[in-house]
Amino acid sequence: MPEPSVILITGTDTAQINAEAAKVIREVAGENPDPFAFDVVRQGDDQSVLDALNQVVMSINSPAFLGGRKTIWLQHFEGFAGEGAKTAKTPDALAFGRLSDAIATGLPGDIVLVMDGPGVDKRKRLYKACQDQGRVVVFDKPDVKDRNWQAAMKEVIARAAEAKQVRLTPDVMEFLIQAFGTDTGCVDNELEKLIMYCGGPGEPITLAAAQDVCSGEGEAISWSLTDAVGDRDVPESLRLVDVLLRQEKDAESAAHGLILQISRRFRDLLRIRVFMQEKRVRSPRELRGTTEKLSDEEKERWVEDGFDFVRAHWFRAFKLAEQAVRYTGPELIRAVVHCRDANLQCVSTGASSRVLLEQLVMRMAPAGRQAGRATRGQRRGY
């Protein structure tokens, strides 16, 4: 299949956009592009959006210096969001119109145009022209508010691992998803560190190595917080709250975000307990066999009701179930109510989000209860 004459790489995830652009350029221009047939256009301090767009159009209309095919790369462009409406008459909007027209009418046969950068609007002329005349690749950053963010992050990690020819076992993949959160920009570097730590390319990546190398920073700590709260470990939870909020410029907003994250975790734990009760699952270790026996239709019905874990890897469901059985059913219901109340207070009162977060953490483990200590009802699996 011939290479398209126009390739647009966009979305909301700058890290993935940049990585894909570098890969595409190697494919279309080679590892060491001929400088006489390779025109790179960059927007910078001395190059405005208007200048960059005009330069691309000018390059499209100019053949390679010594003939043959020429590659034009509008590199890491930050100005796509300024395209404007079709009827806009600003200099930038008119320049976007000229570029869109050049693409829509068809580029010369010896020109390949690669453009990358965030913010191209799918409803506007440039995106549609590229879609009609070439190939558009969209990378959107996983959103932690989306119930499917883990599946999206798994795809990002799996793609990077495949490119590096490294195999990740399910338990390692699950750990990395939790450790990286939605930080796609760290995936390449962390995988490189893991490969070197484990002895180089071709060597297996172990869970122990991942735990040694890929933990303790950024969103990894925030996921450690939800684990500590789920484990009813109040001292560790409060320590992690302090670590996380000290590194934030807007600690109040960050504290509210952590309340929402804890809320999502406890809704998941409650769903696990409901499932275990209905299916008479007596312990977390029995959960795997029970979910594997579900038909595809049964799984679909559970997923539609919000029980996503039935399609998740068994290791994640097992870890959630381990936390879920640390609570009785009524305690989990109260925990979800506490989360709801804390969120409402954040948005409707002048109370400090940090204070509300710390109070929420302490409410999850009543005084006198040891972290991880099971009640008689919990030991029975209720």
Reported as a single tens digit per residue, the pLDDT across 84-127 is: 888 888 999 999 999 999 999 999 988 999 999 999 999 999 99
Q: Which CATH superfamily is domain 6-139 in?
A: P-loop containing nucleotide triphosphate hydrolases (3.40.50.300)
Q: Which regions of the chain carry the CATH code 3.40.50.300?
A: 6-139
Reported as a single tens digit per residue, the pLDDT across 10-64 is: 999 998 999 899 999 999 988 888 888 899 998 876 778 999 999 999 999 887 7
Q: What are phi and psi of 110, to 5 degrees?
A: -100, 15
Give domain 219-380's CATH number out of 1.20.272.10, 3.30.1380.20, 2.60.40.10, 1.10.3720.10: 1.20.272.10
Can you tell me the distance from the alpha carbon of 307 to that of 304, in angstroms, rounded to the nearest whole number? Answer: 7
- pLDDT score, position 100: 95
Q: Please, what are the averages of pLDDT over each run of 10 residues along the chain (382 residues)?
A: 83 91 91 88 83 94 80 94 85 93 92 95 94 94 77 91 90 85 85 87 86 60 77 86 79 88 90 92 89 89 87 79 90 92 88 91 62 38 37
314: three-class secondary structure by DSSP: helix
Q: pTM higher than 0.85 for the full model?
A: no
Neighbouring residues of 166: CB distance < 8 A, sequence distance ≥ 6: 191, 194, 195, 201, 205
Can you tell me the distance from the alpha carbon of 23 to that of 115, in angstroms, rounded to the nearest whole number? Answer: 13
Q: Which regions of the chain carry the CATH code 1.20.272.10?
A: 219-380
Tell me which residue of 15, 107, 119 sits closest to 56, measured CA to CA: 107
